[in-house]
Copies of this chain bind each other. A is one copy, B any other.
Amino acid sequence: MTTGNAQPLRITVWNEFVHERRDPLPRELYPDGMHAGFAAAIRAHLAVDVTVRCATLDEPEHGLSESVLRATDVLTWWGHCAHDAVADEVVERVAAHVLAGMGLLVLHSGHYSKLFRRLMGTECSLRWRNEDDRELVWSVNPGHPICEGVPSPFVIAKHEMYGEYFDIPQPDDLVFISSFSGGEVFRSGCCFRRGKGRIFYFSPGDQDYPIYHDANVRRVIANAVRWCAPSSTAHQAPPTGRSDVGWYLRNDAPEETE
């Protein structure tokens, strides 16, 4: 949520971009990479100005230098087969920015990314099956801004099944639960607050399905990006350390009458 600042919301879309260059089906579905689709969805749906940049695994520092992160309000993350290839140093840098206020949207197999596991502190493991299950995405939090403009349920005709037990901390806010034709359930839309940052995990998004062309999925991504946005453009970790008695009295004028 922005403060009404005239500055556009600054989004960085991070994508592993391995499958779309290596495997026939993803390449056909996402010829410019999945990140192109995210960027388009975000621009189309947000009611505020946005600037969107993309970054991929194979760039220097995976495209996530300190200056890029400092100029990012919300980072989106999609990865699947190359989690281990992400440098620990970059993971720590990104995590620090999230704790200092940068928003983070983690998609699908990003549940196993070093970054998401680093921030959750749990295994983030789950059950899965790739056999064209029908997925129904149900809202269990109908007033939540991430649900805005999206029916409940919305139908994903064919998708990979993700099933419980999903080893995450209990979400601060549970927004979606999915069911699959095989009977499994999954907490598919989960909000977390860590430090000053907001994190949203959204499970739909296997690279072998045209998920990111789905209107409802694109709407959720745009809503989530806006929800993740920090109040302040500067990522500033909260102050800590040794504090004198009455330190707070030096800064504050208690009775500013208006």
Residues of A within 8 A of B (CB): 1, 3-4, 40-41, 44, 47-48, 95, 99, 101, 118-123, 125-129, 131, 134, 136, 138-145, 147-148, 151-157, 161, 163-167, 169-170, 172-174, 177-179, 181-185, 187, 192-198, 210, 213-216, 218, 230-232, 237-246, 248-249, 251-252, 254-258
Kindly list chain B residues whose C-beta atoms are within 8 Å of the C-beta of A257. 210, 213-215
In the assembly, how many copies of this chain are there? 4
Kindly list chain B residues whose C-beta atoms are within 8 Å of the C-beta of A148. 3, 231-232
Q: Please, how many angstroms separate the alpha-carbon atoms of A16 and B11 in the complex? A: 44
Kindly list chain B residues whose C-beta atoms are within 8 Å of the C-beta of A3. 47, 145, 148
Q: Are B120 and A121 in contact (CB under 8 A)?
A: yes
Q: Please, how many angstroms separate the alpha-carbon atoms of A239 and B181 in the complex? A: 20
Q: Please, how many angstroms separate the alpha-carbon atoms of A41 and B257 in the complex? A: 11
Q: Please, how many angstroms separate the alpha-carbon atoms of A118 and B257 in the complex? A: 35
Can you report 6 A-B residue pairs in the complex whose CB atoms are below 8 A from each other?
A1-B145, A3-B145, A99-B167, A128-B242, A172-B173, A215-B258
